[in-house]
Amino acid sequence: ICKPTKDSHVAILAFPFGTHAAPLLSITRRLATASPTTLFSFFNTSQSNSSLFPSSDLPSNIRVHDVADGVPEGYVFSGRPQEAIELFLVAAPESFRKAISSAENDAGKKVTCLLTDAFFWFASDMAAEMKATWVAFWTAGPNSLSVHLYTDLIRQSAREKDGCMEETLGFISGMEKVRVKDTPEGVVFGNLDSVFSDTLHRMGLALPRANAVFINSFEEIDNTLTNNLKSEFKLYLNIGPLALLSSTSASQSVQEDPHGCLAWIKKQRTASVAYVSFGSVMTPPPGELVAIAEGLESSKVPFIWSLKEKSMVQLPKGFLERTREQGIVVPWVPQVELLKHEATGVFVTHCGWNSVLESVSGGVPMICRPFFGDQRLNGRAVEVVWEIGMTIIDGVFTKDGLEKCLDKVLVQDDGKKMKSNAKKLREQAHQAVSVNGSSVENFKVLLDAVVNILN
């Protein structure tokens, strides 16, 4: 039984690191526009909020709240990887509880739905206590969602197979081509007891209890995986690719182009340009940065390289001057727009989910250099499931390896096959977000799940 939506109050709980909060905000905007009588309270750390809200063009039914970042007063960072993430996660249940309760008092409306980053497994109990629904957003792809859902099973199988890294996950429907070594750290290898590994493990156990789980992808990208996840969750909704729904990337609401990349690419030949980027978190080690620069230069391929300002000093001496006519190196590019441009011929990527899906949306084949987390899984899908790209030769950048890969993808027959597969996938992605497309229909179901109050 559904009550009228005007009483509903949705609390959105964002994860303030990497490319997580921005896509959640972009979905919140769409939901808020579609349901103007519902109040949406967006909870995120002040630091992440300040990068998300440079302007104040929010629908009036979205209210933004700061939550604690979990860093104790006077705390000195030791430099451990993921330290800030762990501090945040440990404090998160309490931080969110406090902030929600004060927002409820301010608004005079009890929260009726928790719409959270899927990492927040504790939202399951929180929602039960609050008599609210729980709707979870998995910000990466279906393959990594599947790995976290079946972590216990994968661990058990790895024990039986004596930890063989080449074994495939054939016992999970849709994961037949994935090897143990492709899984993220913290599932079978790496630190299984870290706060982060534990969070993902608990998440996998909790998500089947969520009223709905949704992701930025489209069903047809992998029907077997989609059907299997549909059988595991109460509702499993693919609502993407977000990159095709508006001209926004997952990480920026406006595709700003302060460095003139679009003007530059307009002058290039069809499918000739290599676009190089490793997302918002990762920068390759200095030796690999040099190899990329040397490989690009000797290949003579026109390039756009998104490289953080602080890493530019690592480039070989004279590289920028020598390649002035060949390419540009800038600290930020309008990635979605670049990947949609016909001159882009290949994307050299770390295989973050948003990047991969944006490349699929643009029909651009990829050269993959995954580093950590779900990136190896995404790279594996690119290479052997969809056959729309290849892993960098030897797994790390070398001058010769990059040159050979660029030649393979941009010139050789292998590349033509990748390109044609990528174009087919792009077609399916476009259909999913067209009238009556699967993602459009799923968004309506999501809206219902979020704004209707269940009795």
By annotation, the residues acting in catalysis are: 20, 117
Q: Are 46 and 74 in contact (CB under 8 A)?
A: no
Assess 19 for contact with ligand UDP (CB under 6 A).
yes
Return the number of the residue (140 or 154) whose C-beta is nearest ligand UDP. Answer: 140
- Residue 388 CA to residue 366 CA, distance in Å, equals 7
Assess 215 for contact with ligand UDP (CB under 6 A).
no
CB < 8 Å & 24+ apart, contacts of 281-290? 281/17, 281/18, 281/352, 282/350, 282/352, 282/371, 282/372, 283/307, 283/308, 283/311, 284/369, 284/371, 284/397, 286/314, 288/369, 288/396, 288/397, 289/314, 289/315, 290/314, 290/315, 290/316
Q: Figure out which of the listed residues 157, 216, 228, 306 binds ligand UDP, where binding follows CB under 6 A.
A: 306
Residue nearest to ligand UDP (CB): 352
- For the beta sheet containing 344-349, the strands, ordered from the edge strand earlier in sequence to the opposite edge, are 327-330, 303-306, 273-277, 344-349, 366-368, 389-391
Return the number of the residue (366 or 432) whose C-beta is nearest ligand UDP. Answer: 366
Assess 27 for contact with ligand UDP (CB under 6 A).
no
Total residues contacting ligand UDP (rule CB under 6 A)?
Answer: 21
Report DSSP state, residue 382. Answer: I
Cβ 22 to ligand UDP shortest distance, Å = 8
Assess 127 for contact with ligand UDP (CB under 6 A).
no
Stretch that binds ligand UDP, among 1-9, 146-154, 212-220, 347-355 (CB under 6 A): 347-355
Assess 253 for contact with ligand UDP (CB under 6 A).
no
Return the number of the residue (55 or 60) whose C-beta is nearest ligand UDP. Answer: 55
Assess 281 for contact with ligand UDP (CB under 6 A).
yes
Stretch that binds ligand UDP, among 75-83, 179-187, 228-236, 353-361 (CB under 6 A): 353-361
Return the number of the residue (183 or 354) whose C-beta is nearest ligand UDP. Answer: 354
- Residue 120 CA to residue 24 CA, distance in Å, equals 13
Cβ 350 to ligand UDP shortest distance, Å = 6
Return the number of the residue (8 or 19) whose C-beta is nearest ligand UDP. Answer: 19
Please, how many CA atoms are within 13 Å of residue 311, restricted to the half-sphere of its CB? Answer: 22
CB < 8 Å & 24+ apart, contacts of 49-55? 52/21, 52/22, 52/25, 52/253
Q: At what angle do helices 195-206 and 151-160 cross, to 10 degrees?
A: 110
- Residue 231 CA to residue 423 CA, distance in Å, equals 29
- Residue 430 CA to residue 160 CA, distance in Å, equals 43
Assess 352 for contact with ligand UDP (CB under 6 A).
yes
Stretch that binds ligand UDP, among 115-123, 125-133, 274-282, 292-300 (CB under 6 A): 274-282
Stretch that binds ligand UDP, among 24-32, 188-196, 350-358, 359-367 (CB under 6 A): 350-358
User: Contact letters (x/-) for ligand UDP, 354-373, by CB under 6 A?
Assistant: xx--x---------------
Return the number of the residue (259 or 430) whose C-beta is nearest ligand UDP. Answer: 259
Assess 335 for contact with ligand UDP (CB under 6 A).
yes
Residues of the shown chain interacting with ligand UDP in the complex, contacts defined by CB under 6 A: 18-19, 249-252, 277, 279-282, 306, 332-333, 335-336, 352-355, 358
